Amino acid sequence: MRISLLLVLLALPQDTTTADRDPVAALIDRHIEARWSELGIKPAAPAGDAIFVRRLALDVLGRLPRPDEVKSFEADKDAAKRAKLADAWLASDEAAEYFVDRWIRLLFNYHFEQADPFKVDFPGFAGWLKKAYKDDLPYDQFAAALVGSRGEKDEKPETNFLMKFLDPKEPPTELAVKTARVFLGVQIQCAQCHDHPFDKYTQEDFWGLTAFFAGIRQKTRQTFDGIKTKIMQEAPIVRMPVGDDKHVDMAPRFLDGSTPDKDEPAGKALARFLVGAKNDQFGRAAVNRFWAHFMGRGFVDPVDKFTDKAKPSHPALLSELAQEFAKGGYRTRRIARGIVLSRAYGLSSARVKDAPDDAFAFKPLKPQDPPQFLNNLVYLLALDAFFREFYNQFYENVKALPGYGNERVFRMYLFQFVSGILAPSGRAPEETPYAGSTRLALKMMNGTDLQNTVKVGWGRLAEVMKAEATPEGRVSLMFRTVLGRGPAADELARYGAYLKKKRASASAYEDIYWALLNSAEFFFNH
Amino acid sequence: MDSDCRHCRLGRRDFIRLSFGAAAGAATFGNLGLAWPQDGPQGKAKSVILLWMQGAPSQLDTWDLKPGTDTGGPFKAIDTAVPGIQICQHLPRVAKQMKKLSLIRSIHSKDPNHDTASYLLHTGYRRSETVDHPHFGSMVAQELGMQAEGLPGCITIGGDDGIGSGYLPQDRAPFIVEKIDNPLEDLKLAAGVTKFRLDDREELLKAQNEKFRTEHDEKKVIAHQKAYERALALIRSPHVKAFDVSREPDETRKLYGASAFGRACLLARRLVQAGTRFVEVRFADWDTHADNFNRTRKLMNDLDPGFGGLLEDLDRTGLLSETLVLCMGEFGRTPRINAGEGRDHFTKAWSVAMAGGGIRGGRVVGRTNVDGTDIVERPVTVPDYYSTIYHCLGIDAKKQYMTSTGRPVKILDEGTPVKELIS
């Protein structure tokens, strides 16, 4: 009896036995498990500590875990270690930086034009995003600030979102499209020229939403404290094109027909309508987005296709999670914590036969996103050091531009390189980088820039060669560095044999590093 | 003019014919529902070169001049090798090649947004929620088959359109050569990596991936591996030297002019010769809302020797009759000149140019009015234009494919070939 009880306790995932189970995780588990029963499927086995740490590091910190982080976590006997690690990492600076990267990509697609430094204070905006993350700024206030803030640019860095898309010659349609896409999970751009052909939005809906952003101006003036810029909004009227040469004036009108109260500023009204959108769409789109980030796909997939015809995989869970979100004051961290401590998040990614992807009976695979990829290439190949020289030439051109922080520009530059590998330009950030691009494979495996960094004397590989003296030690550390796990016996044997054949030459070690770097196991967040 | 928005109309009632791989047979006139004298075999074109004028070129300053009118601007019209046809004074080399080239001056559309119009002009369809349409270069590669070992069937030089292979296999997706000036980047073996070392590496990688692949028998994982296989095939391809423009004799290189665009046109010719089916050369930036005349003139200074040189060179090497050459942008520009000396977006009446591959050269289809504000003769839709292209390639535009969600889609769901241009 005692032995079987012991075995049962050992077999259960650690945290479910503790009394203080995360309530959001419990909510998630209830619904997910219910659907498994409904479908008559058995879920995959739990994934184990090393994989959990790798996932958490990628999803929260935006990077691979370090070998010693994996080691110490595996050795930790605390039953609540997952919750502790999640709390520590969710609150960290690194998590905040990753959040900044993701939102800059989401809002700006890393798109950086020559004219931008005159309009957009990227460092200031990044600083605002970072603080919002660290303070766990309620998401409704976050959205309200982005769409509704007006005033002094240096006091309200969130207004840089507006500035990025402002063009005196063009109506602010991009802002409407972005707002709908990011905060409501809907794509309205097809309704720009005519009524949306397959969704309910009319052309007037499109231009009514655009009107909330019309008339926004940047006014610069000289003060005792130097040059100050004010973002202000004049009459929010936009000219809606009808046919090729006619126009009709549109005033702000939200997608459900709501219009601002008398004298209510357009920005404030939009924030109000957004958060109060019918069917709790704001909350649902948000939790769906968070779920998709951690789980690889949303309840509605892709996250910006919340059309009327879209059928969520777990409609009740989606609604209840959204309610939890609102009840908890729209604080994101609670939801994130619940997701990473849920049973579904901890399952193996080995496919379960006959289980549909959206049942989450196994953890869906996803490619790394550009910030993760960049952070990992920087770590593994010292890519930043490598590019510094090229960057300095590039920076010669932008150095003279106003208010530009060195490191932020450098990071944008690196992102362009990395994004160029992962996914073709012109793709919206919602479209996650995909596997299957010949160009991606070509650049990873033979790209001049990357290959020049796969050298025993360079970057992380150089550190591995120094830290370990034996072939086994070096191969082991390479595995733990690139893949987050130690090699299996057969892998050790295979690489041992290779090194022996090649007389443990430098190029042989580089070949092994290269193979791990190009492996599917590295590429995917599994 | 028809204002119906067609991208949600999919003919499910039609008889579904699944078709993957294999080169298409020649189109028959019966399918097209037309009857005119057949003076030659169908499907003359075996490949396509698209010169993409990104940003939308001004038709009144390039192909359809209106000198002396309010909308005409400062450029003069010059005679070409074809009496009666005049084009812009800044395209003299192209003017000399006019016997090979035809113009449609009456093309029209409805979408003045760069993004969505570019999609229309690259797929023949408007953007749709339910179908991800393939780049038409992918369709050409699919229908005509990929014939050159390791060489992608569809190649884009100079950037990305953001359009992939859609519902067609991934290996038909446009292969993007980002830098016009260094197309061999990433294609030649990295320093210190011999072909033997690459073989060794390939073996290590295959072994490394085996377990993961078995445990994760997923489309994404398979796609990832197949991409590596294609990349290796490309590096090892006997055709990879086609990317090396420096192999061309000096006098040929001079023919195309000194610009990056010219070099890209020459690269396109080499790639077609090597056996790729479709090459797009992207040339930016024609979006001249301000300072239209200076900017357009500068662009034409590069376009002229590039395009003119390409036509001359294709002819000289005997490739022109089998290579369809297209020059177009996503729409046109306003006859009205704005306060910034610019022209804005205009969809009502604009121009495209076509040569080679079964197109009868030296013709003009359609006519605009005195100041270019409207079409007075022979309007042509974008689907009509596409029908013409597919006809030249011998592709049956009515053929249906299935998307991954089981939706049937025709290669084109409307349009009639412009018979005046078909030989």
Within an 8 Å CB–CB cutoff, is residue A330 touching chain B?
Answer: no
Contact A452 B159 (CB under 8 A): no
Q: Dump pLDDT digits (tens) for A114-163.
A: 566 677 888 889 999 999 999 999 999 999 999 999 999 989 999 999 98
d(CA A61, CA B119): 36
| Mean of pLDDT values over A365-377 | 89
Q: Tokens 């993957």 correspond to what residue?
A: B20
Residues A219 and A142 in one domain: yes
Q: By residue range, what is the domain housing residue A53?
A: 37-90+280-367
Residue A126 belongs to some domain of the structure: no
Question: b/e for A5-34, b at 16 or more Cβ within 10 A?
Answer: eeeeeeeeebbeeeeeebebbebbbebbee
Find chain B residues with C-beta within 8 A of A519's C-beta: 205, 208-209, 212
Among B114, B48, B90, which Cα is nearest to B304's? Answer: B90
Shared domain check, A241 and A179 = yes
The candidate with the shortest Cα–Cα distance to A44, out of A355, A338, A291, A488, is A355
Cβ-count burial A46-84 (b if 16+ within 10 Å, e if not): bbebbbbbbbbbbbbbbbbbebebbeebeeeeeeebbbe
- The answer to the question of residue A42 being in a domain is yes
Q: Complex ipTM, two decimals? A: 0.87
pLDDT given for residue B17 in this prediction = 28
SS3 of residue B48 by DSSP: strand
pLDDT bucket at B147, cuts 50 / 70 / 90: confident
Q: Please compute, for residue B209, the number of CA atoms within 13 A of its CA located in the half-sphere on the CB side.
A: 25
Question: B126-137: per-residue pLDDT in tens?
Answer: 887 678 899 999
A272 and A325, same domain (yes or no): no
Chosen domain end from A367, A389, A404: A367
A414 and A330 in a common domain = no
Q: Do B129 and A367 touch (CB under 8 A)?
A: no
Nearest one of A182, A147, A152 to A165, comparing CA atoms: A147
Do A224 and A303 belong to one domain?
Answer: no
How far apart are the C-alpha atoms of B379 and A95, rounded to whole Å? 57
Helices (H), A14-66: 23-39, 49-56
CA-CA distance, A238 to A248, in Å (whole number)?
8
Q: Going by C-beta distance under 8 Å and a sequence separation of 6 or more, which residues neighbour residue A519? A: A482, A483, B205, B208, B209, B212
Is A55 within the bounds of a domain? yes
* Confidence at residue A496, expressed as pLDDT on a 0 to 100 scale: 97
Do A389 and A244 share a structural domain?
no
Q: What pLDDT is recorded for position A6?
A: 45
Q: pLDDT grade, residue A424 (50/70/90)?
A: low
Clarify whether residues A397 and A355 are in a common domain: no
Is A293 found in the same domain as A385? no
Three-state SS string over A213-255 comes to CCCEEEEEEEECCEEEEEEEECCCCEEEEECCCEEEEECCCCC
Helix (H) or strand (E) holding A472: helix A471-482
Task: Give a yes or no: residue A171 inside a domain.
Answer: yes
Q: Provide the token pair at A14.
A: 């650690």
What would the pLDDT profile of B176-224 be if each residue is shown by its tens digit?
Answer: 888 777 788 888 888 889 999 999 999 999 999 999 999 998 888 998 9
- Which amino acid is present at B351? S
Write the pLDDT tens digit of every residue in A159-205.
Answer: 999 988 888 778 898 899 899 999 999 988 767 766 665 567 888 89
**Whole-angstrom Cα distance, residue A214 to residue B125?**
31
Report the candidate in B417, B364, B366, B368 with the shortest Cα–Cα distance to residue B394.
Answer: B417
A454 with A466, same domain: the answer is yes
Q: 3-class SS at A212?
A: coil
Which of A173, A174, A244 is best to mutate for the B interface (most B CBs within 10 A)?
Answer: A244
Identity at A84, one-letter amino acid code:
K
Phi then psi dihedrals of residue B267, to 5 deg: -60, -40
CB contact under 8 A, B205 and A518: yes
Alpha-carbon A255 to chain mean position? 27
- Chain B positions touching A351 (Cβ under 8 A) are 215-218
Mark yes or no for CB contact B201/A511 under 8 Å: yes
More confident residue, A478 or B111: A478
Q: Are residues A406 and A477 in the same domain?
A: yes
List of chain B residues whose C-beta atoms are within 8 Å of the C-beta of residue A427: 162
Q: What are phi and psi of A14, to 5 degrees?
A: -45, -55
CATH code for position A508: 1.10.3130
Domain assignment present for residue A22? The answer is no
Region at A146 (left for phi over 0; alpha for psi -120 to 50; beta for the rest): alpha
**Angle at Cα A413 formed by Cα A183 and Cα B282, nearest 5°?**
85
Name the one residue in this structure whose structure tokens are 């109506």.
Answer: A171
* DSSP per-residue codes, B291-306: SHHHHHHHHHHHHHHH
Query: B279-309: per-residue pLDDT in tens?
Result: 999 999 999 999 999 999 999 999 999 999 9
Q: B129: alpha, beta or left, given left = phi > 0 and alpha = psi -120 to 50? A: alpha
Question: Between these two residues, A30 and B158, which has the higher pLDDT value?
Answer: A30
Claim to verify: residue A175 and residue A266 sit in the same structural domain: yes
How do the domains of chain B map onto residue ranges? 6-182+248-421, 184-243
* Chain A residue whose CA is closest to B211: A521
Structure tokens at A498: 């290779």
Q: Are A118 and A82 in contact (CB under 8 A)?
A: no
Angle at the Cα of B55 from the Cα atoms of B50 and B58, rounded to 5 degrees? 90
Q: What's residue B103's pLDDT? A: 98
Residues of A in contact with B215 (CB under 8 A): 350-351
Last residue of a domain, one of A235, A253, A276: A276
Residue-level pLDDT at B304: 98
Asked if the structure places residue A475 within a domain, the reply is yes
DSSP state string for A320-356: HHHHHHHHTTT-HHHHHHHHHTSTGGGB--SPPTT--
The tens digit of pLDDT for each residue in B380-423 reads 999 999 999 999 999 999 999 998 777 899 999 999 999 999 97
| Cα-based distances in Å from B290 to A46, A167, B231, B244 | 61, 14, 42, 37
Tell me if B366 sits within 8 A of B348, measured CB to CB. no
> In this model, does residue B36 exceed pLDDT 80?
no
- Answer whether A259's CB lies under 8 Å from A253's CB: yes
Domain boundary among A242, A261, A276: A276
Using CA atoms, how far apart are residues A255 and B279, in angstroms rounded to an integer? 42
Whether the CB of A109 is below 8 Å from some CB of chain B: the reply is no
Quick one: A350 and A488 in the same domain?
A: no
Residue by residue, DSSP assigns B92-160 as HHHHHTGGGEEEEEEEE-S---HHHHHHHHHHSS---SS--PPPHHHHHHHHH---STT--SEEEESS-
pLDDT at A394 over 70: no
Residue B130 sits at the chain A interface (C-beta within 8 Å)? yes
Q: Provide the domain count of chain A.
A: 3
pLDDT digits (tens, 9 = 90+) for A281-332: 999 999 999 999 999 999 998 888 887 778 999 999 999 999 999 999 999 9
Strand partners, B380: B107
Assigned architecture for domain B6-182+248-421:
3-Layer(aba) Sandwich (3.40)
Any domain includes A128: no
Residues 484-523 of chain A whose Cβ lies under 8 A from any Cβ of chain B:
488, 491, 494-495, 498, 507, 511-512, 514-516, 518-521, 523
What percentage of chain B exceeds 90 in pLDDT? 74
